Amino acid sequence: MELDKNQLVTLIAESVIKQLRDNCGTNNIPVAISNRHVHLSKEDVHKLFGANHQFKVFKYLSQPGQFAYEEKVTLVGPRGVLENVRMLGPARTKTQVEISVSDGVKLGVKAPIRDSGELSLSASLTLVGPAGSTTLLEGTIIAARHIHMHPDDANRFGVKDKDRISVKAPGARGLVFNEMLVRVSDNYKLEMHIDIDEANAAYLKNNDSVEIV
């Protein structure tokens, strides 16, 4: 028996609602893979691009209020160079460069694994832009893997801000990520952030799902 239009719409709506309810009851967390990037301070913006430079937004990121600029910089280390490194906004009080372990090997930089913003005694690096350059005495890190959560998500998972948890990645190269930092804010969207090295190790891509162990 064929369904009329109204019956078909009702069935589709019921299916969508069920799927949303099912997803809310799971431990699934979407994956976002971070490539190397730079968060510049206003002072370093002036050094690299000039005082009157107007930045252009390349795209808005999944986390509210975060975006990538069209402009890029070059990273220079003792052993190598990485060109076309994307800048993220908005500007910060202190410049932060986030690289992977593999990037550090190419640059000749031994960057520590740190939570975002913890820059004391981190690695030195030179940044080059179209208007000039600056050498950071510290500020280069390998970002600690973390999960952004809205408070509603944290309540659902039974965790709180700054907890460290374990997360399981499925598949042929499945593994467990330990020491996963939980970051909770009203401004966050549920998402796990790992770098390219970590994603390759587990054969993960953007928008794949993992779950809390």
Is residue 61 pLDDT above 60, yes or no?
yes
148: pLDDT strictly greater than 50? yes
Is the pLDDT at 50 greater than 60? The verdict is: yes
Tell me the average pLDDT across 192-205.
97
Give pLDDT, residue 12. Answer: 54
Instruction: Please tell me the predicted confidence (pLDDT) of residue 27.
Output: 79
pLDDT in tens, 73-85: 999 999 999 999 9
| pLDDT at residue 62 in the model | 87
Query: Looking at the predicted structure, is the pLDDT value of residue 48 above 70?
Result: yes
Question: What confidence score (pLDDT) does residue 10 get?
Answer: 58
> Any idea where the domains of the chain sit in the sequence?
33-143
Quote the pLDDT of residue 31.
97
Average pLDDT over every residue of 3-28: 53
Model confidence at 156: pLDDT above 60: yes
Is the pLDDT reported for residue 42 higher than 80?
yes
Higher pLDDT, 24 or 45: 45
Give the 3-state DSSP-derived string for the chain, with helices as H, strands as E and coil as C: CCCCHHHHHHHHHHHHHHHHHHHHCCCEEEEEEECCEEEEEHHHHHHHHCCCCCCCEEEECCCCCCEEEEEEEEEECCCCEEEEEEEEEEEECCCEEECCHHHHHHHCCCCCEECCCCCCCCEEEEEECCCCEEEEEEEEEEECCEEEECHHHHHHHCCCCCCEEEEEECCCCCEEEEEEEEEECCCCCCEEEEEHHHHHHHCCCCCCEEEEC
Q: Tell me the pLDDT band of 179, cut-offs 50, 70 and 90.
A: very high
Task: Kindly report which listed range (10-24, 111-125, 147-161) carries the lowest average pLDDT score.
Answer: 10-24
9 pLDDT higher than 60: no
**What is the percent of the chain where pLDDT is above 90?**
83
Q: Is the pLDDT of residue 19 over 70?
A: no
Mean pLDDT of 157-177: 96
